[in-house]
Amino acid sequence: MALKAEMRRRVKDCERTTLWHGTKEKSVDGIVRFGFNRSYSGGNKRTAHGQGVYFATEASYSCHNQYAKKDSQGQRRLFLCKALVGKYVKGHKDMRVADHNVFDSAVDDVNNPGIFVIFKDVQAYPEYLIICKDK
């Protein structure tokens, strides 16, 4: 709540946004128990928009094999999440934090964001775990 109040001072519409996060099977338990941790981000070496935790507006993006790797039964895992994205800036690969005096997260495109990167672990929480298979 304190983070939301802090963001609300800078951004009028600071409600939770629904986003997707694809992950591998072995990461699920840690995310469920402890939430998202940017210390483990970049394990897939995809940090084009910053060195934080990545979320997508479309499930199909998070379902790519580089994020939601298939297990031995061909199942993928995605979290449907709630995130406080606040005011965002275009990210870049070397960004470790957004300027928290002005911005709360980074995106791929400020006009039509498809990817959000958060830098504070408490900015997002997993709401549902979806386990799916390709057709």
| CA gap 41, 96 in Å, rounded | 11
Cα distances (Å, whole numbers) of residue 108 to 40, 67, 71, 105, 135: 20, 17, 29, 11, 29
> pLDDT (tens digit, 9 = 90+) per residue, 28-87?
999 999 999 887 665 555 678 988 999 999 999 999 988 999 999 999 999 999 999 988
pLDDT reported for residue 6: 61
Q: What is the CATH number of domain 2-133?
A: 3.90.228.10
Domain boundaries, the chain: 2-133
> For the chain, how long is the longest CA-to-CA vector?
47
